[in-house]
Structure 1
Amino acid sequence: MKIREIRKDDIELVWELIRRNFDEVMINHHSKEIVEKFKEHNKPERLKEQMKWKEIYVVKKDNEIISTGAIANFGDNDSPKYSISNFFVKPELHGQGIGRLMFNHLLISIKKKDIEKLHVPSSRTGLGFYKRMGFVEDEVQPDKKDEIIWMTIELS
């Protein structure tokens, strides 16, 4: 397996990976309207725009993209809020360590930024994974209506 930065010619394959997770996995734990809302946020044209401000990576195995994950600053330069974003593994490969591989890659990249906390807006389906990685649920949950659970891990 190889991890590398996303390229424009990966966008359609990454979109298919993300779409499958929404349609096959997340739909079992989230309302249809939330799944559709987040699918809209991750369509190919939006992913292309996100490439300008997120660090987006893919995991490839046998020339196939099997995972994606990103680091995004949802804050600003004065008050950064670095977060994991667009974190997905091909549905039939869940539970095989690919998510951990991607997470460790993102963690190495984030530690180079010398920040103290990393956040993740987790779906209900990702909650257990992020807890195993060391994240804890934040006391304040601003996105409850979007069925998102904000979590944080201390890096220092």
Structure 2
Amino acid sequence: MACLIRGATEVDAVAISEVIVAALRGSNARDYSAEVIEAVEKNFSPGAVLRLLEQRQVFVAVVGGRVVGTAGLDGDTVRSVFVEPGYQGGGIGRLLMARVEAVAVEGGVERLWVPSSITAVGFYLLLGFSEVRNEFYGGERTVVMGKRMGW
């Protein structure tokens, strides 16, 4: 399966929203309550995604002409890495993160941060990130992780 990683455009907003909601409901729901999932979903409506496209660099993974994953970079922080559940485990997340890391290095980032869901901690550990601290937003636990960029 050929996967293209490219910059996201406004046309991708609905597809990005759908990928994120599917991942939240299909994967993250194992680790978070329905209330937390519902609250997080509200942050990724198509309109909210359009606003995020203006604030950060966003990338999409496209397979067969369809958006199946997304990731963003906001300065030195990785944001909103999600892959549609049916495509998880196939390397798409790694490809997205490789693009994010390359852009971060090109931008002079020395240390990359990611506020990870509990669900994704293992994924980031495999990519060389280390756990730094836990943060709590009501019932939502986020694991802040960091990685020094290679120079």
Same fold (TM over 0.5): yes
Stretches of structure 1 lacking an aligned partner (at least 5 in a row): 74-81
The one of 117, 120, 137 equivalent to 1:123 is 117
Stretches of structure 2 lacking an aligned partner (at least 5 in a row): none
CA-based RMSD? 1.2
The one of 117, 125, 136 equivalent to 1:143 is 136
1:10 and 2:12 equivalent? Answer: yes
8 Å CA contact 2:56, 2:74 repeated in 1: yes
Whole-Å separation in 2 of the counterparts to 1:142 and 1:64: 34
Tell me the amino acid that sits aligned with residue 127 of structure 2. Answer: M
1:100 and 2:94 equivalent? Answer: yes
8 Å CA contact 2:134, 2:141 repeated in 1: no
3-state DSSP of counterpart to 1:65: strand
Whole-Å separation in 2 of the counterparts to 1:16 and 1:144: 24
Equivalent residues in 2 for 1:6-155, closer than 5 Å: 6-73=8-75, 82-138=76-132, 140-143=133-136, 145=138, 146-155=140-149
Tell me the amino acid that sits aligned with residue 96 of structure 1. Answer: G
Aligned-pair identity (%): 23
Q: After TM superposition, what 4+ stretches of structure 1 lie above 6 angstroms from structure 2? A: none
Aligned length: 147
Question: CA offset at residue 115 of structure 1?
Answer: 1.7
